[in-house]
Amino acid sequence: MNWRLALPALAGVALFAATAYQTEIAQWRRQREEGLKRDGGWLTVAGLFWLHEGANTFGKDPGNEIALPDGEAKAGVFELHNGKVTVKMKGAIRELWPDSLDAAKVGRLSLFVIKRSDRYGIRLKDPDSQYRREFHGIETYPAKLEYKVTAKWVAEPRKIPILNILGQTESMDSPGYAVFRLRGQEYRLRPYLETADAQELFYIFRDQTSAKETYGAGRFLYSASPANGRVVLDFNKAYNPPCAFTPYATCPLPPPENRLAARIEAGEKKYGH
């Protein structure tokens, strides 16, 4: 083979691959921002109200226990009894399932029930939220192929405690951990399964950019399930948790083993309101 002729061809292939990857990441980031901005996206989350046992009135009148920015003055009542939430509006009563798409509609607003540990709350989504109106895009690091790493997968199923910003801890199923190298150093990340039938692994991590260039509480990352003892971690797709965009989210925090002694200069940077 004439290597003098082959080298430019190989360089061209490498350039094409890098350009295609840059295009992939740019498209992923556009879709990410579109998801935040869409109707019902995290930028519309404009309130969180914790329910007490019994009747919880809601409406636009400030005298309600849950005062809303739109709708009727006295729109209805949420009833919480022994872990069951019902809503009464205009004489009709129905049950609302926590952390589902069930919603009570009041004017332009949507009200959802959430459950965190033993607490039940009402999440308010407002399409006219100030967080949506004032959204100015997310600053990111330039996409670099060196931050798309193939990691060794170590199967070690166990429960891990995941703390959230409310101070609650939930035990989650973790199927193992990923071992990867970056700039000559070895690191590991332990994901967990968000649901029993999850098809992806979910990682929460902090690194040496956290609270400086990136969000202080850490960032999120998904990967496909392991194949042939390997898992691909693309840190160019590391992103801010919902708490970066609204104070009414209840985000999980990184477990201690996912606090990396490395600078992960990839993915989303800190978002400022």
Taking only the tens of pLDDT, the chain with its 273 residues reads 555 555 454 445 445 556 899 999 999 999 999 999 999 999 999 999 999 999 999 999 999 999 999 999 999 999 999 999 999 999 999 999 999 999 999 999 999 999 999 999 999 999 999 999 999 999 999 999 999 999 999 999 999 999 999 999 999 999 999 999 999 999 999 999 999 999 999 999 999 999 999 999 999 999 999 999 999 999 999 999 999 999 999 999 999 999 999 999 999 999 974
Q: What is the pTM of this model?
A: 0.90
Task: Please state, in angstroms and as integers, the Cα–Cα distance from residue 180 to each residue in 59, 160, 189, 218, 230, following that order.
Answer: 52, 20, 8, 19, 10
Q: What is d(CA 142, CA 101) in angstroms, rounded to the nearest whole number? A: 36
Q: What is d(CA 189, CA 39) in angstroms, rounded to the nearest whole number? A: 33
Q: Could you report how far apart the first and last alpha carbons of the chain are, in Å? A: 58
Residue pair 254/238 in contact (Cβ under 8 Å)? The answer is no
Pairing of strands 200-205, 148-163: unpaired
Q: Where are the domains of the chain?
A: 42-133, 137-273
Residue pair 127/45 in contact (Cβ under 8 Å)? The answer is no
CATH C-level class of 42-133: mainly beta
Residue pair 156/177 in contact (Cβ under 8 Å)? The answer is yes
Neighbour-count burial for 220-239, b at 16+ CB within 10 Å, e otherwise: bbbbeebeeeebebbbbbbb
